């Protein structure tokens, strides 16, 4: 019988995922990984990024990573390396996840590889090597976590259902949907009805990515961080890779250059509005403080239905709209 809490510590040797309603008996390796800082740090990084304070999507990266572990253990319980990869696949994320991705050339995949390499002694104690984890994470080795067809993966499946739950988008309980899914060469395969529900969630998530509640705080926070770095803040890009969300807030509030702007973003995010511009419109941040946002990719991979690829006109339209040029200005 599981404990009274869905704790992320493995205190009773198990992880109970409240979204998928799955109980996972944790291996000694998984328990040790959950006690390392780079994994624990994910408890202080919001999966939704800065939108965690403008929407109800406030859960952490560690919850998502454990959700991917639950799915991996469900479909491939004996694949130790894939299970470890599920826990480690996001450890390179910057504070607020994707919000600051690319800033100063920072890339969470590159950072993640470095951190997995640091954990090699832990992995080797349990018969797994960092190189194997990295190969799985990058899709260089076939595993339950990746596929070569471009179809929906377990990583994104967890993201769409976890986000769908907290936004109230789901109609069928995730555990019930999971009962109608299979994993075929790393691709999520299901029936037509379940696929339709999944596509609805994928479309909703893509639209959220382009919505004011996400775009506005991203633009303003990114501008604040760039300003802090350009004016010689107390932190640099290397420090940024190690910060948690709370530590970044604290640094921006402590810096006299960004203090007022940070307070305003936190207290009055509706003081900015979003505009959609033509893709070829020039970037011009001097226009009364306007901030330009370019969305170049979306998470639009679809499940397969009985082994066959599917299409959806909404997904096609969302893909065709990229790259998307948005501008955030004072309301």
> Tens of pLDDT along 94-150?
999 999 999 989 999 999 999 999 999 999 999 999 999 999 999 999 999 999 999
Q: Whose CA is closest to 306, among 186, 150, 184, 201?
A: 184
- As given in the structure block, the two tokens for residue 166 are 């907290």
On the question of pLDDT at 286 being above 50, the answer is no
pLDDT band at 280 (very low <50, low <70, confident <90, very high): low
Contact 92, 110 (CB under 8 A): yes
Regarding predicted confidence, which is higher, 156 or 285? 156
- As given in the structure block, the two tokens for residue 317 are 């339209």
Q: Where are the alpha helices (DSSP H) in 168-311?
A: 174-178, 192-209, 212-230, 237-240, 245-254, 259-267
Q: Where are the beta strands (DSSP E) in the chain?
A: 14-17, 22-25, 182-184, 187-190, 272-277, 291-295, 304-305, 324-330
Instruction: Please measure the distance between the N-terminal and C-terminal CA atoms of the chain and give it in whole angstroms.
Output: 53
Whether the predicted model's global pTM rises above the 0.75 cut = yes
Give the model's pLDDT for residue 72.
Answer: 98
Find the mean pLDDT for residues 290-304. 95
CA dist 271 and 219 (Å) reads 13
SS3 content of the chain, % helix, strand, coil (to 5): 50, 10, 40
Q: Whose CA is closest to 74, among 193, 188, 198?
A: 188
Contact 124, 132 (CB under 8 A): no
On the question of pLDDT at 243 being above 80, the answer is yes
At 45, is the secondary structure helix, strand, or coil? coil
Cα dihedral 184, 308, 167, 297 sign: positive
Q: How many CB atoms within 10 Å of residue 8?
A: 17
Give the model's pLDDT for residue 279.
Answer: 62
Which positions ≥6 away from 307 have C-beta within 8 Å? 184, 189
Give the model's pLDDT for residue 149.
Answer: 95
CA dist 328 and 284 (Å) reads 11
- As given in the structure block, the two tokens for residue 299 are 């998470």
At 66, is the secondary structure helix, strand, or coil? helix
Residues 203, 70, 68: CA angle, nearest 5 degrees = 45
At 280, is the secondary structure helix, strand, or coil? coil
> Tens of pLDDT along 137-162?
999 999 999 999 999 999 999 999 99
Contact 55, 213 (CB under 8 A): yes
Mean per-residue pLDDT over the chain, rounded: 95
């Amino acid at each position: 019988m599981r404990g009274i809490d869905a704790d992320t510590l493995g205190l009773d040797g198990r992880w109970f995922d409240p979204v998928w309603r799955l109980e996972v008996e944790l291996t000694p390796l998984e328990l040790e990984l959950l006690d390392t800082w780079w994994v624990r740090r994910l408890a202080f990084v919001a999966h939704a990024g800065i939108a965690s304070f403008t929407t109800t999507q406030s859960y952490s990266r560690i919850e998502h990573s454990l959700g991917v572990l639950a799915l991996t253990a469900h479909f491939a319980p004996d694949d130790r390396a894939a299970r470890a990869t599920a826990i480690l696949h996001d450890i390179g994320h910057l504070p607020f996840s994707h919000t600051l991705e690319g800033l100063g050339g920072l890339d969470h995949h590159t950072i993640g590889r470095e951190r997995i390499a640091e954990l090699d002694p832990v992995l080797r104690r349990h018969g797994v090597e960092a190189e194997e984890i990295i190969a799985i994470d990058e899709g260089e080795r076939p595993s339950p976590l990746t596929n070569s067809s471009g179809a929906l993966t377990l990583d994104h499946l967890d993201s769409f259902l976890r986000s769908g739950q907290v936004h109230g988008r789901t109609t069928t309980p995730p555990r019930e949907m999971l009962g109608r899914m299979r994993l075929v060469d790393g691709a999520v395969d299901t029936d037509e009805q379940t696929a339709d529900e999944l596509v609805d969630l994928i479309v909703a998530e893509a639209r959220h990515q382009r919505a004011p509640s996400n775009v506005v705080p991203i633009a303003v926070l990114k501008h604040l961080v760039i300003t802090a770095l350009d004016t010689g803040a107390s932190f640099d890009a290397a420090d940024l890779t190690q910060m948690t969300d709370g530590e970044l807030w604290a640094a921006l509030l402590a810096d006299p250059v960004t203090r007022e702007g940070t307070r305003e973003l936190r207290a009055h995010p509706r003081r900015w509005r979003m505009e959609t511009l033509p893709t070829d419109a020039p970037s011009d941040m001097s226009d009364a403080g306007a901030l330009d946002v370019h969305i170049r990719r979306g998470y639009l991979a679809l499940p397969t239905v009985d082994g066959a690829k599917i299409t959806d006109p909404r997904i096609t339209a969302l893909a065709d709209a990229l790259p998307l040029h948005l501008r955030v200005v004072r309301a």
